Amino acid sequence: MAKTRIVFALYPGVTHLDFTGPHQVLVRTPDSEVVAASLGGIDIEAEGLTFSNLADLAAIDRCDVLCIPGGFGTTAAMQDEAFMAQIRRLGAGATYLTSVCTGSLILGAAGFLKGRRAATHWAWRGELPAFGATVGDERVVRDGNVITGGGVTAGIDFALVLLEELAGRDYAEAIQLGLEYAPAPPFEAGRPELARPEVLAVVQARMAAAGAARAAATAAAASKLA
């Protein structure tokens, strides 16, 4: 019986925890093959870390799970037709279409979120409806075979939900225990509704710098779907 093939599609400017958090969980999936890939198999630099020895997305014939991490590079990735062509090709045959953070915008740009509920980072939820998606504000949103995680750290929650689907709850809970995943954040500031107003304002201003370019990329990608 063929192994379950889980493909992480990486691109320049990816957020490394969006990738490595879920990878830490999903690499423990029984009877699986976890593949990290980029267009052309190029090395991917992510906030000071470099991922090398990557597979070439175009050389992967199929996958059971397609997972797309997010990051500030999402904007350029949505506009990279060669990259998007591989996402559409692999996603068309995947059993599960998944993402973390703004990776859901790439799923949307590929045409996979029309009529679906999906999550993304709180700062970019307003971009999802352009792709025909309904915004979910949960840490993990599932709509049929589409499973999406919210911002960055939600990737671990997402991966455990997916692992339960692939290997059962007992196994997923055992992995959670083995990783001692029992979040107890030192501050109640992890979501906009919890953060102090002055903290929220600082982060919103930081995100706004990328807002115009991402909105333009979203609009361009959405127009292609129409």
How deeply is 164 buried, as exposed, middle or buried, from its count of CB atoms within 10 A (0-12, 13-18, 19+)? middle
* The Cα angle at residue 176 between residues 171 and 180, in degrees rounded to 5: 145
DSSP conformation class of 145: T
Q: What torsion do the CA atoms of 202, 207, 209, 210 make, to the nearest 10 degrees?
A: 170
- For residue 104, give both structure tokens: 């859901």
- What are the residues facing 112 on neighbouring strands? none
- What are the residues facing 135 on neighbouring strands? 118
Active-site positions?
101
